[in-house]
Amino acid sequence: MSDILVIGSGGAGLAAAIAAHDAGASVTLATKLGVASCNTAKAQGGIQAAVGADDSSELHFEDIMRSSHDTADPVLARVLADEGPATVAWLEELGVAFTREADGELRIARCGGATRKRLLQVGDQTGLAIAGALRTAVGERDIEILDHAALVELAPGRAVLDRKGERSVLEPKAIILAAGGRCKRVAAETGELSTNGDGATGEVAELAVAAGCAERDHDSLQRHPTGAAWPEALAGYAVPETTRAYGARLLNGRGEQFVDELAPRDVVAEAIIRECAEGRGITTPDGRPAVHLDCSPVDPADAETSFPYTLRRFRKAGLDPLTDLLPVYPVLHYQNGGLVIDADGATTVPGIWAAGEITGGVHGRNRMMGNSLLEICVFGRRAGAAAARTVA
Ligand SMILES: Cc1cc2nc3c(=O)[nH]c(=O)nc-3n(C[C@H](O)[C@H](O)[C@H](O)COP(=O)(O)OP(=O)(O)OC[C@H]3O[C@@H](n4cnc5c(N)ncnc54)[C@H](O)[C@@H]3O)c2cc1C
């Protein structure tokens, strides 16, 4: 058995596996579905890092704290902000080709809650590019991959995997949990729409809590403000925040703007829900509440550069975002809370580390857009390196 067992093949698990391997440990990565299945690959809008000339990691840190309404763990938020620019450089070394302006500068946008332009993009398939580069880097290393292998039992130094009904017991020196969030399961239970993929079911966090790991903000789930409410084929699709970063407006049923489109996510989502609850929304053909996202103020060149995939998907479904109003409503998107970690990803149980959406504290009770893709790289790498140091 390898020194280190990583659970999950999203960005956090892949980054942890790379860092642990590069620090000298032998690594096995087990993942529940196919190795490419994860929420990371679905991320569209972008990744935050303070790379702008008028920006700094101090401003990034302040924006995280303010957007979280001071509920984020300041130690973790500081690490996240400080390591943003170096993380982007690392991703570029791995082959992530961030979108650049004609003059060669990185293209950056201002996202909700931010005081500066800080959102780097790979068109609107940023997560796909990052996950692909990390998977390639894992493939270039001597890292054992077990796909369709679900963690079903957990204790320090002991993990039971279920591979298509066959169970195996592994006894690694360290375990890194990077199994993402639970919004897909919650949506199935409540009947809400969700942006999440099939793997986002949350059982690994439950196993960790049962093994003694402390958890925080368990109840705090984030709704993406602009989930598509119509057309039916796109219901639940997260219309990226970059639409609003480049000028799209939210309009109620009377055609009035009712919120600052670049306010923190929870503020925008609550404003939409309130607008509908108080009778100023619209109703979709299948009876769902919604408001309109009006992308017509966006320069078509910005749209083609920063959300081409979104344009294609809506046009295929019969609506042109640049000329038609898009019915949108908040959808379940992200679990803010999760396992308590320190700055090296150590949980409160020795021998178990964690990184990514399964953890809590980095964003407090309200995550800013773009900080999750950063978090999975920063804390995935930290957890991998720290676990490798410990087993050495
Ligand atoms: C549609 C969408 C758009 C988004 N856009 C952005 C964005 O623009 N910017 C941003 O910063 N964030 C964005 N996010 C959020 C971000 O993508 C995720 O929070 C982040 O990628 C989570 O990474 P992760 O590695 O922690 O988990 P995931 O990428 O979800 O990976 C979890 C892995 O664990 C596996 N797993 C689960 N249970 C088990 C088990 N029992 N045993 C073994 N393996 C298991 C899963 O199959 C999966 O491989 C978006 C999310 C979605 C869904």
Q: How confident is the model at residue 65 (pLDDT cuts 50, 70, 90)?
A: very high
Q: Is the minimum distance from the CB of 264 to ligand 1 under 6 angstroms?
A: no
Q: Is the minimum distance from the CB of 336 to ligand 1 under 6 angstroms?
A: no
Mean per-residue pLDDT over the chain, rounded: 97
Collapsed DSSP state (helix, strand, coil) of residue 213: coil
pLDDT at 107: 97
pLDDT digits (tens, 9 = 90+) for 232-251: 999 999 999 999 999 999 99
pLDDT digits (tens, 9 = 90+) for 122-144: 999 999 999 999 999 999 999 99
- Atom of ligand 1 at shortest range from CA of 238: 1
Task: Give Cβ neighbours of residue 210 (< 8 Å, ≥ 6 apart).
Answer: 154
Q: What is the Rg, in whole angstroms, of the alpha carbon atoms belonging to the chain?
A: 20
Q: How confident is the model at residue 1 (pLDDT cuts 50, 70, 90)?
A: confident
Strand partners of residue 177 = 7, 354
CA of 80 to the centre of ligand 1 (A): 17
Query: What is the percentage of the chain residues whose pLDDT exceeds 90?
Result: 99
Residue identifier of the C-alpha nearest atom 27 of ligand 1: 180
CA of 277 to the centre of ligand 1 (A): 31
Closest-CA residue to 17 (of 391, 350, 388) = 388
Q: How many CB atoms lie within 10 A of CB 104?
A: 6
Task: Give mean pLDDT, residues 9-15.
Answer: 98
pLDDT digits (tens, 9 = 90+) for 288-328: 999 999 999 999 999 999 999 999 999 999 999 999 999 99
Strand partners of residue 213 = none
Task: Give mean pLDDT, residues 317-344.
Answer: 97
Planar angle of CA 132, 133, 139, nearest 5 degrees: 90
Residue identifier of the C-alpha nearest atom 48 of ligand 1: 38
Structure tokens at 193: 């729409």
Q: Is the minimum distance from the CB of 378 to ligand 1 under 6 angstroms?
A: no
Query: What is the percentage of the chain residues whose pLDDT exceeds 70?
Result: 100
Region for 140 from its dihedrals, namely left if φ exceeds 0, alpha if ψ lies in -120 to 50, beta otherwise? alpha
Q: Is the minimum distance from the CB of 282 to ligand 1 under 6 angstroms?
A: no
User: In this model, does residue 229 exceed pLDDT 90?
Assistant: yes
Closest-CA residue to 356 (of 5, 137, 64, 76) = 76
CB 293 within 8 A of CB 239: yes
Residue identifier of the C-alpha nearest atom 31 of ligand 1: 10
Angle of helix 371-391 versus helix 11-22 axis, rounded to 10: 30
What stretch of H or E contains 62?
A: helix 57-67
Q: Is the minimum distance from the CB of 123 to ligand 1 under 6 angstroms?
A: no
Q: How far apart are CA 16 and CA 198, in angstroms?
A: 22
User: In this model, does residue 151 exceed pLDDT 90?
Assistant: yes
Catalytic residues: 265
Q: How far apart are CA 126 and CA 99, in angstroms?
A: 9
Domains recognised in the chain with CATH numbers: 4-184+197-217+336-391 (3.50.50.60), 224-332 (3.90.700.10)
Residue identifier of the C-alpha nearest atom 33 of ligand 1: 8
User: In this model, does residue 211 exceed pLDDT 90?
Assistant: yes
**Pocket-testing residue among 372, 378, 379, ligand 1, by greatest number of atoms within 8 A of Cβ:** 372
CA of 358 to the centre of ligand 1 (A): 9
Q: How far is CA 129 from CA 14, 134, 140, 333, 384, in A?
A: 13, 9, 17, 20, 21
Closest-CA residue to 81 (of 365, 382, 364, 362) = 362
CA of 297 to the centre of ligand 1 (A): 32
Planar angle of CA 143, 148, 150, nearest 5 degrees: 95
CA of 357 to the centre of ligand 1 (A): 7
Q: How many CB atoms lie within 10 A of CB 158?
A: 15
| DSSP, residue by residue, 261-317 | TTS-HHHHHHHHHHHHHTT-SEE-TTS-EEEEEE-TTS-HHHHHHH-HHHHHHHHHT
- Atom of ligand 1 at shortest range from CA of 333: 53
pLDDT digits (tens, 9 = 90+) for 152-184: 999 999 999 999 999 999 999 999 999 999 999
Structure tokens at 311: 């344009």
Structure tokens at 270: 């609550």
Q: How far apart are CA 357 and CA 338, in angstroms?
A: 7
pLDDT digits (tens, 9 = 90+) for 347-373: 999 999 999 999 999 999 999 999 999
Task: Give mean pLDDT, residues 85-101.
Answer: 98
Collapsed DSSP state (helix, strand, coil) of residue 386: helix
Residue identifier of the C-alpha nearest atom 6 of ligand 1: 43
- Atom of ligand 1 at shortest range from CA of 48: 11
Task: Give Cβ neighbours of residue 320 (< 8 Å, ≥ 6 apart).
Answer: 311, 314
Q: How many CB atoms lie within 10 A of CB 129?
A: 22
Task: Give Cβ neighbours of residue 130 (< 8 Å, ≥ 6 apart).
Answer: 11, 40, 43, 47, 91, 96, 122, 373, 377
- Atom of ligand 1 at shortest range from CA of 198: 47
CA of 287 to the centre of ligand 1 (A): 30
Q: How many CB atoms lie within 10 A of CB 176?
A: 32
